[in-house]
Amino acid sequence: MTEFSATHDLDPIAEHEPQSALRVISYGGGVQSTALLALAAEGVIDFPTFLFSNVGDDSENPGTLRYIREVTSPFAREHGISLEILEKVRRDGRTDTLWQVLHRPAARSIPIPVRMANGAPGRRNCTADFKIKVISKWLKAHGASADRPATVGIGISVDEIHRANRRRSEPNRRVSYPLLDLGLRREDCIQLIREAGLPIPPKSSCFFCPFHTVDEWRTQRKSEPELFSKSEELERFINSRRAALGRDDVYLTRYGAPLGTAIHNPAADDLGDGNCDSGWCMT
């Protein structure tokens, strides 16, 4: 197995938590959080529960959904790990998906970080509403509280340490970064996944995420043209709604042009930073 050395001073909270407190991983279905699953299966880290908050079968990368259902769910069961697939459920019991929310005709705000004409990203609440709050609701239902906070592990590796921010913890949870504690980089995570006998997962994100890089958009257009067409449709729908409100167009890239045009721009070397800075997505 890959050798690594722990730096336990990065996570002093774990040393003082009640023994019976919840310990869960926010599982994104990507490389880093799948490496955490491999580490949990080996007993290297103590996280018996993994929580995947599905933003919608119509919104998530289909490759991620297949990977979770066909690869990591059976792997987790085999190793006695609970991998729970969560959804955003409204008070009336109906399930919300991000795609549905984005297509509500009466909505006045856009929950994803679309780009303004000058390339600046807009405000977003997709991660908060469809990841953080969904997991927080599950934690509360399973006994997490301010007196007995859960520890939530996030899959951020050393090469992405700028995405880590422990100050974002809520009263009923404490955020932990096991890969940072173990000094592991993305390439170490890939090796851990291979050693566990698992295929390398695709990058996890919504298929229409404005944080996609130009290479990711080009790959989608070439390999998954139906998803690219849906991304274009989404961009057009958002702008038709904004036009009705007297607002300027926004885009899924930073180039101030429709998606189908922007990715053919020879000067476009990057259409996004590829990172949701919270660490709750794209891990």
Which among 227, 224, 209 has a CA at the least distance from the CA of 275? Answer: 209
Percent of the chain with pLDDT over 70: 86
Q: Are residues 190 and 211 in the same domain?
A: no
200 phi, psi to nearest 5 deg: -75, 130
Mean pLDDT of 188-212: 96
- β 49-53/150-153 pair status: unpaired
Measured CA to CA, the distance from residue 273 to residue 213 in angstroms comes to 7
* Domain limits for position 17: 8-96+125-206
Measured CA to CA, the distance from residue 252 to residue 116 in angstroms comes to 9
In a domain, 176, yes or no: yes
Q: Are residues 28 and 89 in the same domain?
A: yes
Please give the residue that has the higher pLDDT: either 169 or 261.
Answer: 261
Measured CA to CA, the distance from residue 227 to residue 277 in angstroms comes to 24
* CATH number of the domain that residue 48 is part of: 3.40.50.620
Q: Are residues 143 and 264 in the same domain?
A: no
Is 264's pLDDT higher than 80?
Answer: no
Which among 169, 128, 159, 235 has a CA at the least distance from the CA of 14? Answer: 169
Measured CA to CA, the distance from residue 144 to residue 215 in angstroms comes to 41
Mean pLDDT of 110-122: 88
Q: In this predicted structure, what is the pLDDT of residue 136?
A: 94
Mean pLDDT of 232-254: 94
